[in-house]
Amino acid sequence: MRKFRRGGALLIYGIIILIAAMSIITVKLFFSEEELKPERDYGVIADDTLRIVTDLYPVENLDRVVGSVSEFHYDLAELVGRESGLNFVIIVENSLAKSLEGLEEGVYDIIARPIIVSDLSKEKLLLSDGLNSDKQVLVQRKSRYNDGKPVIGSVVELAGKEVHTSDDETVGMILDNLSMEIGDSIFVCMEKECGVEQIVMMVAEGEIDYAVCDYTTAKKMARYLNQIDIHLPISFEMQQSWGVRKESPVLRDSLDLWMERVRNKRDFRRLLNKYGLR
């Protein structure tokens, strides 16, 4: 009986020690994970370097005529960086998914590209004041450039079609919702390595049949690409913004202030004229 009691006591002590050890390990893991979370709001960035990430997709054969929307945002990022008065650097990353990942990890501070304001984007980012509002449209070839095939005139006709977009999840969500509304499948192909203008060029050149992009880009491209039709809207107008980490509210407010100042300057008006966006 004594042996049993002694053994039982040892077992209890062993369990207590094991629980204590596991608790210490859990606490250490928790704090190590917390330490990995970047704390880069304005105060930290002001003593370091403001890191702005944007995409850059020059459009071959159209650069000298219209430029690209991504080039506009690159130039705008330079104006905003100078207006901030901070040391800044602009990094090019064409993948939106990788830009979001880098933002979360503290590699970047501002995503300077048009991000559609939606519940999906608000879950991941603090968004700046709206830069502009725009709608998504279908880009397709006109009948005479497509072996006489009639253009799609209703979203219902997208049933069973393959539609290409950039890697913006909100655009994918719009098409998924549209698919449910028409009661049939729309096959969405996200082009992670292509910019919006490049996808439009792919439609014009017959590499793909259908794409969805913002109306501003589509209208600008249609001036020089007679092959494309852009008349079918896919969404209502939606606000577009830049984004920062959800943990950087002071930086977001500062960004809004810098952007407001930039908009009131002659350099910004020149930028709009340069890219035909007035």
Q: Give percent of the chain above pLDDT 90.
A: 65
CA angle 238, 201, 90 (to 5 degrees): 65
- The one-letter amino acid at 7: G
Q: Give percent of the chain above pLDDT 70.
A: 83
Which pLDDT score, from 0 to 100, does residue 60 have? 62
Mean pLDDT in the chain? 86
State the Cα–Cα distance between residues 177 and 186, nearest whole angstrom. 10
138 forms bridges with which residues in the sheet? 212, 232
Q: State the pLDDT confidence band at 33, using cuts at 50, 70 and 90.
A: very low
All CATH 3.40.190.10 domain ranges of the chain, comma separated, are 42-133+239-274, 136-235
pTM score, two decimals? Answer: 0.80
Average pLDDT of the segment spanning 232-251 = 96
Does the pLDDT of residue 275 top 90, yes or no? no
> Strand, helix or coil at 103?
helix
pLDDT digits (tens, 9 = 90+) for 162-185: 999 988 889 999 999 999 999 999
CATH topology of domain 136-235: D-Maltodextrin-Binding Protein; domain 2 (3.40.190)
> Strand, helix or coil at 116?
strand
> Where do we find the tokens 């928790």?
30
Quick count: other Cβ atoms within 10 Å of Cβ 29?
10
Does the pLDDT of residue 261 top 60, yes or no? yes
- The one-letter amino acid at 145: Y
CA-wise closest residue to 259 among 248, 243, 238, 273: 243
Strand 162-165 relative to strand 126-127, pairing: unpaired
Lowest mean pLDDT among 10-19, 74-83, 241-250: 10-19
CATH topology of domain 42-133+239-274: D-Maltodextrin-Binding Protein; domain 2 (3.40.190)
